[in-house]
């Protein structure tokens, strides 16, 4: 039985670690402001910054907890998260949509051309997003999934 295992991009891991280092640095600097008991404005500002950085870290971790590893074999797609894993049979897939993402500046001019990612829509209405931003072998995974779906029809 042939199978393909996803490889997470090192750049993705590095960017998540870098963002966390910056957030913890901001929290540490803000915590020094909390030591000034006499300056209420500094304490309020530091408290707001610490709270917003903690909320930001939690939201980044929710994004990181999305599919960690995907294994595609001839029978199904196995998706492994941080807490659980599940299988998607090829018969459960309704369609695969390719969508393009772009990063815009404030004046509506795109910073990059963007990249194309695949959204696998299941018959129950759930979706699975497979992105080249996260997985090194994105094209190999999607080609294998498309071959398996076409073999079933």
C-alpha to C-alpha distance for 142 and 131, rounded to whole angstroms:
10
54 and 74 in a common domain: no
148 and 85 in a common domain: yes
130 and 73 in a common domain: yes
> CB 135: neighbour CB atoms within 10 A?
21
58 and 16 in a common domain: yes
pLDDT range class, residue 62, cuts 50, 70, 90: low
What integer pLDDT is reported at residue 150 of this predicted model?
85
What integer pLDDT is reported at residue 36 of this predicted model?
61
In the chain, % of residues over pLDDT 70: 75
Higher pLDDT: 60 or 69? It is 69
Structurally, the chain folds into a number of domains equal to 2
73 and 54 in a common domain: no
95 and 57 in a common domain: no
140 and 98 in a common domain: yes
Predicted TM-score (pTM) of the model is 0.62
109 and 78 in a common domain: yes
60 and 83 in a common domain: no
Residue-number span of the structural domain to which 34 is assigned: 10-64
The radius of gyration computed from the CA coordinates of the chain, to the nearest angstrom, equals 21
């Amino acid at each position: 039985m042939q199978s393909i295992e996803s490889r997470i991009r090192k750049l993705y891991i590095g960017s998540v670690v870098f963002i966390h280092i910056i957030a913890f640095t901001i929290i540490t600097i803000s915590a020094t402001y909390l030591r000034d008991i006499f300056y209420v404005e500094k304490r309020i500002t530091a408290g707001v910054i610490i709270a917003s950085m903690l909320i930001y870290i939690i939201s980044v971790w929710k994004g990181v907890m999305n599919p960690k590893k995907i294994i595609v074999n001839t029978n199904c797609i196995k998706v492994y998260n941080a807490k659980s894993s599940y299988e998607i049979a090829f018969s459960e897939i309704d369609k695969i949509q390719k969508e393009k993402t772009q990063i815009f500046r404030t004046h509506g001019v795109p910073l990059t051309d963007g990249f194309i990612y695949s959204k696998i829509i299941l018959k129950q209405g759930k979706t699975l997003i497979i992105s080249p931003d996260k997985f090194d072998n994105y094209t190999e995974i999607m080609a294998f999934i498309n071959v398996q779906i076409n073999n079933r029809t």
